[in-house]
Amino acid sequence: MIRIPLARMAKIVTGRLLMLVAFPLSFSAFADEGMWTIDNFPTDVVAEKYDVNIGGDWLGKAQLATTRLENGCTGSFVSDSGLVLTNNHCTWGCIRNLSTAQRNLSDEGFMARTRDEELQCPGQQVSVLVDFEEVSDNIASATAGMGEAEANEARKAELTRLESACEEASDGERSCEAVTLYNGGQYFIYQYKRYDDVRLVFAPELDIAAFGGDPDNFNFPRWCLDMSFLRVYEDGKPAQTPDYLRWRAKGPDAGDPVFITGHPGSTDRLLTVAQLKFQRDVILPLWLLRYSELRGRMMAWQYTSDEAARTVQQRILNYENAIKVRRNQLKALQNDRMIERKERQERSLREAVAADPALKAAYGEAWNLINKSLETHRNFYEEHLFIENSAGLAGELYNYAKTIVRGTAEREKPNSERIRAYTDTALPMLEQGLFAPRPIDREFEKLQLTFSLEKMREWLGPDSQWVHTILGKEAPDVLASSLVSGTKLDDPSYRKQLWEGGVDAVGASDDPLIRLAAAVDPGARALRKRYEDEVEALRVRGEEMIADARFRLYGTDTNPDATFTLRVTYGAVEGWQERGRPVEPFTRTSRLFERATGQRPFKVPTSWSTAREDLNLDTPFNFVATTDITGGNSGSPIIAADGALVGLAFDGNIHSIAGDYWFDPSMNRTVGVNTAIILEALQTVYGADHIVAELSFID
Amino acid sequence: MIRIPLARMAKIVTGRLLMLVAFPLSFSAFADEGMWTIDNFPTDVVAEKYDVNIGGDWLGKAQLATTRLENGCTGSFVSDSGLVLTNNHCTWGCIRNLSTAQRNLSDEGFMARTRDEELQCPGQQVSVLVDFEEVSDNIASATAGMGEAEANEARKAELTRLESACEEASDGERSCEAVTLYNGGQYFIYQYKRYDDVRLVFAPELDIAAFGGDPDNFNFPRWCLDMSFLRVYEDGKPAQTPDYLRWRAKGPDAGDPVFITGHPGSTDRLLTVAQLKFQRDVILPLWLLRYSELRGRMMAWQYTSDEAARTVQQRILNYENAIKVRRNQLKALQNDRMIERKERQERSLREAVAADPALKAAYGEAWNLINKSLETHRNFYEEHLFIENSAGLAGELYNYAKTIVRGTAEREKPNSERIRAYTDTALPMLEQGLFAPRPIDREFEKLQLTFSLEKMREWLGPDSQWVHTILGKEAPDVLASSLVSGTKLDDPSYRKQLWEGGVDAVGASDDPLIRLAAAVDPGARALRKRYEDEVEALRVRGEEMIADARFRLYGTDTNPDATFTLRVTYGAVEGWQERGRPVEPFTRTSRLFERATGQRPFKVPTSWSTAREDLNLDTPFNFVATTDITGGNSGSPIIAADGALVGLAFDGNIHSIAGDYWFDPSMNRTVGVNTAIILEALQTVYGADHIVAELSFID
């Protein structure tokens, strides 16, 4: 599945997104590569290749029909009453939060028969991009003539100021977010209309939504009904959404050109070779070791009770998905020929810079700056990860504690001096998450906290000052148990009371997790400061220089790396050759039943086996296309040239994972749910005629 | 700890040991490098550097005082009555097999007050090397003029024949084993005296033996009393062992030259660069992913019951040890400068070969042969691993089934045509293991089998023919549960009945694990055949060619890579510089108590806290030396120049792990238990005067 993997999401949320400018690859110019911004879409290239006109009107309409789910996904409006189509796996959090020991909506599925039955998803937000403005000149002025660390602070302060000014100018109608494209080549302020009342309308059973589970994830042929419907509300009523997508009942044909709008999370196609090796040698191995072990703990723990199984069922799938992504990223980076190609490309850029005295003076030091940032980062990577990024203090409860301790302190500062996660424009979403009534499984919290404390001790070593500060003479499991048992942070009203009480309430709290977070915070801030001044500042400056050099040398007809902002990609419905054998682009419903074993994850739910005789077994189920997407595109609409919705992106094939570093048009495929099977399921399996009646169809 | 890590042990036992000839490194010629064979020890170099004479007498005595523990360790005789000193961690299997829910010898420790109280370790064997003979000419004759695959078979058949001839000539007094040194540069038959009645005499509590647990493993400073005493018996009486080591009560002094005899398992110092990259990119990542997850499953499972905790307590430490080894091996191989140095060395050898027409004709193709073997191996690495090497069918019970199914079939063949694990000379040890009464925890077996079946499906994919053959329509956990519940293979008498009944009994058995192993065997044999003919045969031939080229170009004054055969290494008691700070070579007992937290793994057992006032807190505890050892040297005696026992090797420092690929004399250190603290503990903590009385002392 191509929801943003867990670690990526954290990277984005905490503002440490590694992004780099795009540049012309050595593949054919006609390769279907690129996650294009709406204002720089290659209309002419597409017209030439596919003989269709995807112009401003088309794109503007698609923009307003496309939604961002703030938990790392995409969706699209499919009615004028706020009905949103997205992936089932993008609604797992909502489904879990709404489930109880007595009513497992994941196993049973969910369908509201009336609007009154639609259930609000705690903390869920949905956004639509309505406008954007370039502010590159403001940033250039604000940072002119400064050293790296000073410029890094000034840049952030200016972005914070611009965001607030934008929101004020909109009278609170818009949420404004700074966006960095082309790695500092361009800065923008994006304006979103944000919906914070989001309700669950329909979700099929997990057994059909994620049929094949982890074994089939990123594979194709495939049979997943990975879809849910949500609805956005305003003032307690369904929102009016006149820009929505019409539905093609028969889905796409082989060879059809298709377009995908959505919010791809991040790509790393133009990292320097040194940055790629840092991923290969430092980031990915440590991540994989930790999460493989955590996966194992959850796999064993799920057998301890029915509640444990329910608590981790979807989480295990999420972790397995992230592990599959990471291990295939590592595999991609271990391909020495790929690294050598990247080295050649980098050499050619550096030689072009060196050959021109003006370019050399302006940009020649860029790679050294980045190398220096990596060397420094290497020296305290583990400490920064385990302490400031809380890899050593995992779980929702500690996360609440950290947010409250740090957030209340940050709120005391002037807006432009705050850590950007706590600026005025960031607080509404943060507060919605903090106050949302989500069920907490204390036993699972203990498991996570024990694990993370043990890993902290393992990687920082038993003699680290951090181990002494946090563990003292306690064993990790004993400490975790006492912290989780003793805290009241599972109570949203207690969180709200502390948050609204501010630093005084936090200082007076004897909650053990609040006290621990307060003890960790000063040192963690010192690590953050070191990271910002000695790593981030150099990297961002170096990347800005490379971005500018690329613009100067290669022009601007390129697409930036993904940044969880709106993009459009184009391609066609088309299979590929796997080890010399053709993979057909469509699967059919009949083979779903042949593949079923009766055992999870290959178990067809009862609703489907009951409906089998009534189903049209020729209905196309999943399909592939040559479009260029990545994590964050989960839930993206797959749109035909005439604007009809023909599919719902939910995954890539296994080769798509290397797409983080480069796009291979011969192998990289999007995997989508066909609109035909969604319709067939709604009508024949689920009797959801009221939902079908709300859709609009186009031939 | 430097017991052979699990995967290595399997590699050796199944005869797939990757070994390569040694060649002169670019370090100083006086570096304390080398795991030397007893007949090629650099007496002159040592005399020059340390002004001591380590000649044939010294070495011959040390040879007979050094024992191999057939579970992957070393030991030494310390009395004339068969008393063996080894590491506590080398006796964990024995301790676990002798423990019950009511009597946990790991937690409590064990001391036999009389010989009658000494407890036999099920399946344990101890060997002493008594003679060896070079047979390189026989192998050369047997394989002359053959293609790789044919030569591979003929080589094995000749080694089998030579082993049997050796045992027949000894009238059954000796166990004979073929040994390949210098990677095919030399072949030997080693003769061992083997003891199959081995009893536990003394073991301290795990809490002091492995004080610091995984967090401190491979670290120094250190405080581990990682020692046990065993005793070998003959005809029901303590064996007579006149060649034993005398004990130095005060241990070594800083700067003392020291010598370590033992059985290092394997090193990879002279793999080709392509082979190193295969480890880096294929073998190590997959291994680490699997074992990190298994570790997690065991960590979570241990909380489910006291019995579960007891079952996995030491196993977790073993896995953690292996994970630490592997992840530091991976880190070593990710050092691009190291790889570049290896590339330069390889280029220089290849250029020297290419420059001489005779050498070129004889050896020029060696690297291409190895590359071809790797490419082929890459194409079915996972399949071979999960099926033929049983990574997809884990647990002691399946292992019994596989041994019985395959072994009974192999016994039908003439000796020289059998897989070498089942030759006449291999069968006695195999049978002792198969018939030994070891307790089996069925719940743990289910955990292991479930895990391995799931990993098989994950890595081979749900559409693999193997997944269909083994799982059918079952879920891994359901199948594992039914297989483990249904088998009778936990009963040694049933195993014996099947083994002695041969293929007929096996064919008639309805035991579900026997039936599964029988269903897997033909396909697994096909994978084995492919591996032998297309991978191993090419690799061995290529390695032989490189070994010969090295002998021709660099001479024979070198030491071979480790092969779990007797070696001697030399060095001195000496600390090192860690990030600019000196690490002293000795630790003292006083700091053990300061470091204790009262919580495992930093918990000092009650016996020690009780004895604290009586202990001499200045007693040196652990120490480091510059000697070159690796996994398999666990339990090795550390011997002074005058032949006195001064320490017991049990670990290396963290830098020693890269020693698998190269020896860095400035950083690589052996970690040993000082004979002074063993004596102090025996006398003051354990009241083991009867054991002390059995030792002989030397000033």
Note the pLDDT tens digit of each residue in B293-302: 999 999 999 9
- pLDDT confidence tier of residue A29, bands split at 50, 70 and 90: very low
CB contact under 8 A, B599 and A475: yes
B332: closest chain A residue by CA: A281
Q: How far is B294 from chain A (nearest CA, A)?
A: 6
Global ipTM: 0.93
Rounded CA Rg of chain A: 25
Residue B5: the pLDDT is: 58
- Closest partner residue to B289 (CB to CB) among A292, A475, A600 is A292
The tokens for A488 are 């009241």
Name the least confident of A26-40, A124-138, A539-553, B61-75: A26-40
Cβ neighbors of B428 (< 8 A, separation 6 or more) are: B175, B196
Q: Which of B219, B290, B299 to mutate to test the interface with A (most CBs of A within 10 A)?
A: B299
Residue A307: the pLDDT is: 96
Q: How far is B460 from chain A (nearest CA, A)?
A: 9
DSSP structure class, residue A534:
I
Residue B31: the pLDDT is: 59
Let me know: does A362 contact A552? Beta carbons within 8 Å: no
Distance CA A212, CA A216 (A): 5
Q: How far is A221 from chain B (nearest CA, A)?
A: 11
As a whole number, mean pLDDT of residues A407-422 equals: 97
Q: How far is B59 from chain A (nearest CA, A)?
A: 40
Residue A181: the pLDDT is: 93
CA atoms within 13 A on the CB side of B533: 7
- Closest partner residue to A292 (CB to CB) among B292, B474, B597 is B292
A294: closest chain B residue by CA: B296
Q: Is the pLDDT of residue A28 over 60?
A: no
B320: closest chain A residue by CA: A458
Q: Does A59 touch chain B (CB under 8 A)?
A: no
Rounded CA Rg of chain B: 25
Q: How far is B614 from chain A (nearest CA, A)?
A: 25
Q: Does A375 touch chain B (CB under 8 A)?
A: no
In this structure, are strands A620-625 and A586-588 parallel, antiparallel, or unpaired? antiparallel
As a whole number, mean pLDDT of residues A125-134 equals: 97
The H-assigned helical ranges of B232-365 are 273-278, 284-301, 306-333, 336-354, 357-363
Note the pLDDT tens digit of each residue in A69-115: 999 999 999 999 999 999 999 999 999 999 999 999 999 999 999 99
User: What is the percent of chain A where pLDDT is above 90?
Assistant: 93
- Name the stretches of chain B with pLDDT < 70: 3-32
Residues in B closer than 8 angstroms to A475, CB to CB, are 597, 599-600
3-state secondary structure of B343: helix
The sign of the CA dihedral B455, B461, B463, B469 is: negative
Q: Does B457 touch chain A (CB under 8 A)?
A: yes
Q: Does B295 touch chain A (CB under 8 A)?
A: yes
Residues in B closer than 8 angstroms to A285, CB to CB, are 285, 288, 327, 330-331, 334
Let me know: does B499 contact B514? Beta carbons within 8 Å: no
Q: Which of A276, A297, A444, A597 to mutate to test the interface with B (most CBs of B within 10 A)?
A: A297
Note the pLDDT tens digit of each residue in A608-650: 999 999 999 999 999 999 999 999 999 999 999 999 999 999 9
B288: closest chain A residue by CA: A289
Q: Does A293 touch chain B (CB under 8 A)?
A: yes
Q: Is the pLDDT of residue A474 over 80?
A: yes
Where is A40: in which H helix or E strand? none
B86 bridge partner residues? B228
Q: Is the pLDDT of residue A7 over 60?
A: no
Q: Is the pLDDT of residue A555 over 90?
A: no
Name the least confident of A337-341, A501-505, B396-400, B423-427: A337-341
Q: Does A298 touch chain B (CB under 8 A)?
A: yes
The tokens for B352 are 């020297």
Longest dimension (CA), chain A: 74
B334: closest chain A residue by CA: A281
- pLDDT confidence tier of residue A4, bands split at 50, 70 and 90: low
Q: Does B600 touch chain A (CB under 8 A)?
A: yes
CB contact under 8 A, B475 and A336: no
Q: Is the pLDDT of residue A376 over 80?
A: yes
Residue B184: the pLDDT is: 84
DSSP secondary structure string, B563-596? -SS-EEEEEEB--EEETTEEE-SEEEHHHHHHH-
As a whole number, mean pLDDT of residues A272-283 equals: 96
Q: Count chain A–chain B contacts defined by CB atoms under 8 A.
A: 119
Residue B185: the pLDDT is: 85
B285: closest chain A residue by CA: A285
Distance CA B238, CA B115 (A): 9
As a whole number, mean pLDDT of residues A554-574 equals: 93
